[in-house]
Amino acid sequence: MLVGRQKRAGQLGQARSNRVRTAADVAHRQRSRAGNVVRLHSSGSHPLTHIAENDCLHAYESRSKAAFDKIEPVLREIAQYQHDTNFVIKAQELGRLLLSLEFPGHLLENTWIAPLDMGKLYAWCVFETFQRFADEFYGEKPLAQESDADFQRFIESCGFHTLDFSPCADGRLAHTISYVLRLPYKGVRRKSYAGAMFDVEDSLQKWVEVEHKRLSESLPNSASEPTRYLKAAVYHYSSSLPDQEGCAAHGSDAVKAAEGAMSRLLAFQQGVQNSFCCGASIDLMLIGIDTDNDAIRIHCPDANGNPDGENYVDAQEVYDATLDANPADSERVISELIEQKNPAASSAYNKGLVKFMARLLFNNISQIDYVRNHFNGCYSDIGHQERFIGMGVGFEEVQLRNLTYFAYLKTVEQNAIDVDVGIKIFTGLNIKRGLPAPVVIRYDYHGNVPGARERAVAKVECLQQAMAARFPEQTQRGLIHTMLVVRDCTADNSIEVVGGSTQSGAVGGGH
């Protein structure tokens, strides 16, 4: 049964199929002219692509998203029986069989007198599925990569001790670390903001924390080591529908998106310089992602090491230029390409930065083939298809594209723009069809700090009230549902559910 999201995605895919084929043909012809097309691996992949890793990542993405996407069709089926005398038994049977879920009794009772609250049941299913998804992530570690120590050694060899990335909060960038850049998620701090317009003070605070740890505990390395803190901002654009499917926070304008992100990077560097006189201990990186096919562009460093707004290396160029390279040579070939693009990049100061850029571009080759082989070179859901909103602090487990719209915030008022953009996206996806926007409100805490859990619980309750106050109509009509979760990020455990609007005794959508 093709309904809702699946049907819409199908229609989108069909409407775009001509364009996708044309784009693929053009790419094919270009490669033929360069004489490279014959050099592709027999599997149709680039010789440097990690095919087995791609297969694992695809299996994880497919099964995780399928669990969310089957909720709506199953609930449509269940809805047909709501006036039957044995409705509860039938609904539970279908829930167990098709969703492997046991519905809570309070959501199914009294349907002979009042209509079944389908929106609440839908939100409960999304939340339950999210909880299982998180339990799998922390319990089975499906995205575990190279060891933390190996990765730390690698980044130190590039001259860095910490990686701090801020992609746009758009769900189409949620897989930036684990998929697009193929970096271990534990080795990179990720904080997402609408338009990659990250909170400069928050990064400043993190920088202070990191440098203090280096001084007091020599972690991750000693403060006497001449390594730097790398802050990267990741903006995005859509090559096929640039005016519609680019970054909503920047009016779908790729140049504005890059400039906006760059302005925050410079403000952060300046902030460190003005407050601590050591702006030189910061390196900046600006990355763009084409959300149609996950190909990245990295802006080349200028003579001072700062990203050059005009000059960038496109991963597709790297893909074509390395078709003959063996893995051992690839870093050199890619580094040369970066230096050709911008001779300033070859300065001794930029050596480590170029090495790190080369690694990211190398890694992105696998992701380009991931989209080529599993999605025909262009995602069918090139627009928003997020399954829920994630609001608050945390969400390390969400490493999949288009699963979650992030609103990283400590108070709703402080980051109202991020929340409003999220509700606007979900008005298009769900609310206008009468389905609620499921909002997971989350706060991670450090379990070794006395009282931290209690404060995290108070925080999520406060965020829930602020959401209800900001969106009173949607909340009252049950068009926004919330689940409250906390997590001890110093332990390796999954999330803990501490409340929410679909729980027994909760009234409406917001309490």
Q: Does residue 254 contact residue 266 with C-beta atoms inside 8 Å?
A: no
Q: Percentages helix, strand, coil for the chain, rounded to the nearest 5?
A: 50, 15, 30
State the minimum distance, in angstroms, from the CB of residue 384 to Zn ion: 10
- State the nearest-atom distance from the C-beta of 402 to Zn ion, in Å: 13
Torsion of CA 416, 418, 420, 426, to 10 degrees: -150
Answer for which of 233, 247, 265, 419 binds Zn ion (CB under 5 A) is: 247
Q: Report the nearest approach of Zn ion to the CB of residue 12 (Å).
A: 19
Nearer Cβ to Zn ion (193/443): 193
DSSP structure string for 454-506 = HHHHHHHHHHHHHHHHHSHHHHHTT-EEEEEEEEETTS----EEEEETTSTT-
Q: How far is the CB of 194 from Zn ion (least distance, A)?
A: 6
What's at 33, amino acid-wise? R
Q: Which stretch binds Zn ion (CB under 5 A): 54-62, 223-231, 247-255, 337-345?
A: 247-255
Q: Which of 164, 170, 199, 369 is catalytic?
A: 170
Nearer CB in complex with Zn ion: 49/402 = 402
Number of residues located near Zn ion, criterion CB under 5 A: 3
Interface with Zn ion, residue 245, by CB under 5 A: no
Closer CB to Zn ion, 292 or 369, in the complex: 292
The residue range among 19-27, 103-111, 177-185, 244-252 that interacts with Zn ion, by the rule CB under 5 A, is: 244-252
* Token code pair at residue 337: 């390409």
Q: CB-wise, 286 or 479, nearer to Zn ion?
A: 286
How far is it, in rounded angstroms, from Cα 114 to Cα 117?
A: 8
CB of 168 to Zn ion, least distance (A): 3
CA dihedral for 111, 115, 118, 120, sign (positive or negative): negative
Give the count of alpha carbons within 13 A of 150, CB side only. 6
Q: Which is nearer to Zn ion, 40 or 417 (CB)?
A: 417
Q: For this structure, is 170 an active site residue?
A: yes
3-state secondary structure of 414: coil
* Stretch 155-174 residues interacting with Zn ion (CB under 5 A): 168, 170
Provide the edge-to-edge strand list for the sheet that holds 189-190. Answer: 189-190, 160-167, 228-237, 282-290, 296-301, 307-314
Q: How far is the CB of 291 from Zn ion (least distance, A)?
A: 9
- If the CB atoms of residues 233 and 338 are measured against Zn ion, the closer one turns out to be 233
CB of 164 to Zn ion, least distance (A): 18
- 351-375 and 51-69 helices cross at what angle (nearest 10)? 60
Nearer to Zn ion, 67 or 407 (CB): 407
Choices 146-154, 205-213, 246-254, 259-267 (CB under 5 A): range interacting with Zn ion: 246-254
Distance CA 360, CA 160 (A): 14
Number of Cβ within 10 Å of residue 507's Cβ equals 9
* Interface with Zn ion in residues 166-225 (CB under 5 A): 168, 170
Of the listed pieces 138-146, 245-253, 316-324, 421-429, which binds Zn ion according to CB under 5 A? 245-253
8 Å CB contact between 182 and 419? no
Give the tokens for residue 451.
């009282």
For binding to Zn ion (CB under 5 A), which residues are involved? 168, 170, 247
- What positions carry a catalytic annotation? 170
